[in-house]
A and B are shown apart, each in its own frame.
Chain A
Amino acid sequence: MKAIRDWSIRHKLTGLFMAMAWISTVAISLPLGIFDYWGTRTTMARDLEVLADVLARNSTAAITFRDADAARDVLQALRAEPSITAACVYTEDGEPFAKYVRQGEKSSFVPPPAQAQTTRFERDRLVRFRRIVLSGETVGTIYIESDLQRLDNRFKEGRLVFLAALLVTMSLAFFLASRFQRPISRPLVNLVQTAKAVSIAADYSVRANLQNRDEFGLLVSAFNEMLDQIEKRDRELRQYREHLEEQVTARTAELSQAEEKYRAIFEDAVVGIFQITPEGRPLNINRALAQMHGYDSPEQFLAEVPNMADQLFVNRERTKELKRRLDAEGVVRSAELEVYDKDRTKKWALVNMRAVRDADGNIVLYEGTVEDITDRKVAEARVQFLAYYDALTGLHNRTFLRQVLAKALASTRRQDQKVAVLFLDLDRFKIINDSLGHTFGDLLLQQVAERLKRCVREEDTVARVGGDEFLIVLAALKSVTEATIAVNRILNGMAAEFLVEDQRLNVTCSIGISIFPEHGMDGETLIKNADAAMYCAKEKGRNTFQFFTEDMNIQVVERLTLENSLRLALERKELFLVYQPQMEIASGMIVGVEALLRWQHPERGLVSPDKFIRLAESSGLIMPIGEWVLRKACSQVREWHDQGLLAVPVAVNVSAVQFRQGDFLTVIKKVLSETGLSPEYLELELTESTLLSNVNVIFPMLEELRTMGLKLAIDDFGTGYSSLSYLRQFPVSKLKIDRSFVQDVVLNSDDAAITAAIISMAKGLNLKVIAEGVETAAQMSFLRAHHCDQIQGYYFSKPLMADDVAKKLAEQSASPFLYNPEKLNRLTQKATPVGVL
């Protein structure tokens, strides 16, 4: 209130106008807003009820005939409704039958109450229970919940409209107020201006103008009478002051003469010399000191630095400490002090000083000498930095982090708190480095470091411990939840796009977490366990985090064991190839084979390729193994040729890792020349993700492979991006439809449509199409009807050992026209599980 009392009349009037405008706007908007909010809630509830009705209708048959898949399909349609967070179909006994949860949503399902059929708002969602009724009988219950996003949005819009209305009325009020307050405020302002003119010009002959006969008029005439009095007294005072000034000038001249002879020594000294008051005001300084601080002359220094202690000394505490020592001991020798120069650059100074006292023992000033030791200090700091910091990112290094962690653990032991160690690794950083260059990679790492620093608290420590690996210590946590919050903050922080050299890119990371004291009592164990947990987070699918668990150690050991035996598998000849024939539908002939890798482990038996191929990729063993597969497959086909068997090409799967390795083309050339196999008999199968992982590098390689005469096929087609534009660019000659489509082609109309579309699209691009995983006659007839070129799968032949392939090839060359694989298969297998009509 006091502040308002001090306002000018003009402001008070304007304020009054605006306050009235504010109150009336709010009074109108508030009920309207509440009315609208309730309206939106009602609409939402009604919409959800309609949706529940539709779901109930569509799932009636599924629940009646206990078809959980059909019920799930019905619920899956909710994906088109992003506001629906979860839904569930219950049987009449209240057991959950099928459910749907929006991606990324964690929903707790509630079993339906006995008297179902309610709609209600809960804290953060709207839920609806509805009975599924068939011919008057309740056969189940639908539960559906939606988030309140729409309500929030409505609320936000309403708020925006309210603010806009407020702005308009307030502006209007301001405009009107500035017009209508003038008749009241102008006479007062005139009087104030006259009073100011008098005091500024000290001219008491000025008088205010009398305009009105109201209260203002009376005020003005009283003011003018007062001015008459003052003018008279002022004249007397001025005469007395002039007399005093003359006396002071004379005394000053005498003093300056006495000082002159010492000044020469003082001014030309090499070290800086100063005298300052106990408060820090410089009394006297010489040229060397001025120059050290970047000033041209002592005069400039004194003019621009009214207080040395406040302006030039960096550390207040240090300044106070020096002053204490001076007051106590009278002298300070060789003190190192950080100071600013004129441009606020920090410098280091070596100071010697003493206190000067008067006859009564009171300190009157301090004086002393100063030397610039900045260069020495910078060198010391650099040594310090290199020992504890990472030169690229300016983060701490592993050495420093170990010390921080040890300290954190020690203090935490006393305080009954927790410490979290985060091991963070960027996902696919190697690809960025390989494709965009190391300089680019370094710039990215610097940005990542900046973000990480921003995402953690002051007391946390971020260190870069190698390549793209970071360690973060979160100290003094009260609970594990706090660690989870911090980790989520980091993942969110990393989620925004990075802009490096005008390139936008998204970088994600995987984080492993170990907690003291649960996951280890010393730093090394915690770091090791966080590392193991990070590895698991990567396995889980990247861009996520994972807490350490005890069996991760076991897993790490098990993985290492498997990796070691895989390392030996090549030498011990435990790896071997089987070949699955590929049949041309039109002729029924074998037109190729796919080489498939198998591992016969001495103790574990046959190890699944799913398991060891990924291990080989992550450990780099894929390189020697991949080369062995190529060589083995090529020499096998060459051997068949030499035996005079029908010449068919062999398809070999190539991993993205092999492609990224620079010498892949050299390996291919070497294998072909060593085995003497003509290149057109080697077909490389790549997945879509391999093709697209690094277009700039892979595209020229593919071009060269095709120029050499090799065939290229896209494996698992349909599961990845299936980008047509890429397909046109790449020099591939064959598409392999993924087995998941082929399997359901008879039962699932979507899969049938996709498969048919892939085949016709491939035809349009002049590519051969092969379907893999063909197991039944029905699938076969579908593929035949849609003009698929080739098939591969148990329907025609399972993967065979080389000798068995040779036998089949021999049979085929003996009677190529009599051979009818479909007939043979029907005799040998009990095929056709699905009714063929």
Chain B
Amino acid sequence: MQCRRRIRMCWSVLGTVLLLLLPGPPLSCAQTVSEYQVKAAYVYNFSKFVEWPAQAFASPVAPIRLCVLKEQAFESELNQVVKGKTVGGRAVTVVPVQTAEQSLGCQILFIASSQDRQSRQIIDTLRNTSVLTVGESEGFLERGGIINFVLQDDRVQLQVNHKAATQAGLHISSRLLSVAKLVIE
């Protein structure tokens, strides 16, 4: 019996070592990679897994606009991430916005937890437009948001409101849905 416990211990040690090797947002790496860095990278990556209807863009070469609602810290992280990047032939730009009306031309709108008070109103305004709303607050999806970040075991994980996405005319790749921890159909 001791023997088995030892084997199990070995595995758990090995598992921990592997975990530490993995890049990403576990707590042990918090000093090097902040939660916002991870989320900014994810927001940028969403643009590769989501298809917007053609009318969402002003022209075939119009840039993809990643909007951030009044959150300077996130905005600067996002700027770091998208610097010089293009997706599907479109440039990617970061746009700070203050109100729901300003974000009507965005492809993705990130609503930080600090701005969550306004989220219900903004989501209502953006309903039936093809803006992908991304939040990081409990209940974000229930309010009609499309993608929500949750922290589970110190890892950033995704929840997706597929129904809301479909209503907004967005096509979310099944590959993205497969890594989401919760999908509302």
Residues of A whose CB lies within 8 Å of any CB of B are 57-58, 60-62, 64-68, 70, 91, 93, 95-97, 134-137, 535-536, 539-540, 552, 555, 558-559, 611, 614-615, 747, 834-835, 837
Contact = CB atoms under 8 A, between A and B. Distances in A.
A604 to B, nearest CB: 13
Contact of A66 (B142, B155, B173): B155
Given A539-B1, A837-B142, A70 B159 contact: no
B173 A611 contact: no
Q: Which 5 A-B pairs have the closest CB atoms?
A: A61-B175, A66-B24, A67-B179, A555-B2, A536-B3
Contacts of A65: 42, 45, 158, 176, 179
Interface string B22-56: 11110000000000001000100100110000000
B7 interface: yes
B142 A61 contact: no
B182 interface: yes
Given A66-B22, A540-B4, 8 more contacts: A57-B175, A65-B176, A66-B155, A68-B22, A134-B45, A135-B88, A535-B3, A835-B141
B1 A559 contact: yes
A746 B24 CA distance: 26
B4 A539 contact: yes
B9 to A, nearest CB: 12
Contact of A91 (B23, B155, B179): B23
B157 to A, nearest CB: 8
A614 B175 contact: no
A552 B3 contact: yes
Contacts of A135: 48, 87-88
B3 A540 contact: yes
B23 A95 contact: yes
Contacts of A136: 86
B58 interface: no
B32 to A, nearest CB: 12
Given A134-B48, A135-B87, A834-B182, A61 B176 contact: yes
B141 A61 contact: no
Contacts of B179: 61-62, 65, 67, 70
A539 B181 CA distance: 37
Interface string B59-91: 000000000000000000000000001111000
A563 B155 CA distance: 42
Given A61-B173, A747-B181, A835-B159, A97 B1 contact: no
Given A95-B22, A135-B88, A61 B182 contact: no
Interface in B160-185: 173, 175-176, 178-179, 181-182, 184
At the interface, is chain A mostly helix, strand, loop or mixed?
Answer: helix
22 contacts: A57-B175, A61-B179, A64-B49, A65-B176, A66-B23, A66-B24, A67-B179, A95-B23, A96-B18, A97-B22, A134-B45, A135-B48, A135-B87, A135-B88, A136-B86, A137-B85, A539-B3, A539-B4, A555-B2, A559-B2, A611-B1, A611-B5
B158 to A, nearest CB: 6
A135 B64 CA distance: 14
Contact of A93 (B23, B45, B157): B23
Nearest to A610: B1
Nearest to B181: A747
B1 A64 contact: no
B92 to A, nearest CB: 10
Nearest to B85: A137
Contacts of A58: 175
A782 B154 CA distance: 28
Nearest to A71: B179
A237 B141 CA distance: 128
A96 B19 CA distance: 10
A97 B21 CA distance: 8
Contacts of B48: 64, 134-135
A492 B159 CA distance: 51
Nearest to A552: B3
A90 B85 CA distance: 22
A559 B4 CA distance: 12
A539 B3 CA distance: 7
Which of B176, B178, B182: most chain A Cβ within 10 A?
B178
A555 B158 contact: no
Given A61-B49, A837-B184, A614 B178 contact: no
Interface string B143-156: 00000000000011
Interface string B111-153: 0000000000000000000000000000001100000000000
Contacts of B25: 66
Nearest to B41: A64
A615 B1 contact: yes
Nearest to B177: A61
Contacts of B23: 66, 91, 93, 95
Contacts of A555: 2-3
Contacts of B158: 65
Contacts of A62: 178-179
A95 B87 CA distance: 25
B168 to A, nearest CB: 18
B149 to A, nearest CB: 10
A464 B141 CA distance: 70
A61 B183 CA distance: 15
Given A97-B22, A540-B7, A834-B182, A614 B1 contact: yes
A546 to B, nearest CB: 8
A534 to B, nearest CB: 11
Nearest to A532: B3
B79 to A, nearest CB: 17
A96 B159 CA distance: 26
Nearest to B21: A95
Contacts of A559: 1-2
A835 B182 contact: yes
Contacts of B49: 61, 64
Contacts of A539: 1, 3-4
A65 B42 CA distance: 6
A476 B2 CA distance: 33
A97 to B, nearest CB: 6
A93 B157 CA distance: 21
Contacts of A747: 181
B181 to A, nearest CB: 7
A558 B2 contact: yes
A727 to B, nearest CB: 30
Contacts of A96: 18, 21
Nearest to A96: B21
A100 to B, nearest CB: 14
Which of B45, B87, B155: most chain A Cβ within 10 A?
B45
Contacts of A93: 23
Contacts of B85: 137
Nearest to A134: B48
B174 to A, nearest CB: 9
Contacts of B88: 135
A60 B173 CA distance: 11
A614 B3 CA distance: 13
Contacts of A64: 42, 45, 48-49
A34 B2 CA distance: 55
A837 B182 CA distance: 11
Which of B1, B4, B48, B155: most chain A Cβ within 10 A?
B1
A614 B5 CA distance: 13
Contacts of B1: 539, 559, 611, 614-615
A57 B175 CA distance: 9
Which of A64, A535, A555, A559: most chain B Cβ within 10 A?
A64
Nearest to B90: A135
A489 to B, nearest CB: 24
Nearest to A557: B2
A70 B178 contact: yes
